[in-house]
A and B are shown apart, each in its own frame.
Chain A
Amino acid sequence: DAGVIQSPRHEVTEMGQEVTLRCKPISGHDYLFWYRQTMMRGLELLIYFNNNVPIDDSGMPEDRFSAKMPNASFSTLKIQPSEPRDSAVYFCASSSQGAGYSNQPQHFGDGTRLSIL
């Protein structure tokens, strides 16, 4: 089975440019999560969706960040304009709903390593 697929794997761009990260969740999963990981702050949840609807975007750092999920098989995270402090690894993860206290782990994509110069 295909796992979570993210693109691009690496992105290097100059500050001020728009950056778009893409994610395809595992088929049948109804949760999608965007994380950012840095050495200083660890793994931070930015936003997550349930059935394509954004549930909690309190982790989005500022208005320069936006995320969409137009359908069950695709999501984007956009940064406009980008800044050097946005440099990090961005992970997308997906999981299924489960029921009650069920074991429904999140499955992570390989991440996008973003460098803003």
Chain B
Amino acid sequence: GQNIDQPTEMTATEGAIVQINCTYQTSGFNGLFWYQQHAGEAPTFLSYNVLDGLEEKGRFSSFLSRSKGYSYLLLKELQMKDSASYLCAVRSGGYNKLIFGAGTRLAVHP
């Protein structure tokens, strides 16, 4: 079967660093995506990993280990506006179909 696990909720302090983990078991693997979704809004694309290692994009980084079926999203210098849900999604087939995790709700406090 297909399974993607993320923590349901996390809290962090403004200015700190937070790591959101994602583990997956899928019938195939063709890339992992992270999306950010603010309450009442659409998901927006954050990052993409297909090879093992770290991809850095400003304050956000994403890591992938294909052998472990594991990824994390690292958010540095947290800001209040980073309070949102973060969705991990795996592309497991030849087509561009994504399987989404339930998302992690991150609350950033002053």
Binding site for B on A (CB under 8 A): 31, 33, 42-43, 45, 48, 50, 55-56, 91, 95, 97-98, 101, 103-111
**Inter-chain contact A43/B96, CB cutoff 8 Å:** no
Whether the Cβ atoms of B48 and A105 lie closer than 8 Å is yes
- Is A101 touching B30 in the complex (CB atoms < 8 A)? yes
Give Cα A91–Cα B103 distance, bound, in whole angstroms.
Answer: 16
Given contacts A103-B31, A105-B33, are A45 and B97 in contact (CB under 8 A)? yes
- Tell me whether chain A's interface is mostly helix, strand or loop, or mixed: strand
For A30, the closest partner residue in chain B by CB is B96
- In the complex, chain B residues whose CB is within 8 Å of the CB of A106: 33, 45, 96, 98
Chain B positions within 8 Å of A, measured between CB atoms, are 30-31, 33, 41-45, 48, 50, 87, 95-103
Bound form: Cα–Cα A43–B100 in Å: 7
Complex: A45 Cα to B42 Cα, angstroms? 14
Tell whether A101 pairs with B95 under 8 Å between CB atoms, given A42-B102, A43-B100. no
